[in-house]
Amino acid sequence: MTKRKKIILISIFGFFLVSYTDLSYVFSLNNMPKVLSNEVISTIKQPCVYKQTGGNIDKKGQLSLAIWNIYKQQKPNWLPQLSELVEKNNLVLLQEAKLSSSLLNYLSSSSSVYFMAEAFRIGRSSVGVMTISDTMSLRTCALLSAEPWIRFPKSTLISVYALSNGQNLLVVNLHGINFDWRLIHYKEQFKALADFFMDHEGPAILAGDFNTWRLERQAVVDQFAHSWGLTEARFTVDQRISAFNYPLDHLYYRELELISANAFETQASDHSPIIATFKLIDEP
DSSP 141-176: EEEEEEPTTT--EEEEEEEEEE-TTS-EEEEEEEE-
Question: pLDDT tens digits, residue range 170-206?
Answer: 999 999 999 888 999 999 999 999 999 999 999 999 9
Instruction: State the residue range of the domain holding 203.
Output: 28-280
Residue 51 belongs to a domain:
yes
Question: pLDDT tens digits, residue range 50-88?
Answer: 876 779 999 999 999 999 999 999 999 999 999 999 999
Residue 184 belongs to a domain:
yes
Structural domain total, the chain: 1
Residue 107 belongs to a domain:
yes
Residue 20 belongs to a domain:
no
pLDDT confidence of 116, banded at 50, 70, 90? very high
Residue-averaged pLDDT of the chain: 88
Residue 42 belongs to a domain:
yes
Amino acid found at 115: F
pLDDT of residue 17 exceeding 90, the answer is no
pLDDT of residue 284 exceeding 80, the answer is no
The reported pTM is 0.89
Distances, alpha carbon 24 to alpha carbons 95, 137, 155, 278, 280, in Å: 21, 34, 18, 42, 46
Residue 103 belongs to a domain:
yes
- What CATH number corresponds to the domain at position 160? 3.60.10.10
Of 101, 152, 108, nearest in space to 132 by CA: 108
Residue 209 belongs to a domain:
yes
Residue 270 belongs to a domain:
yes
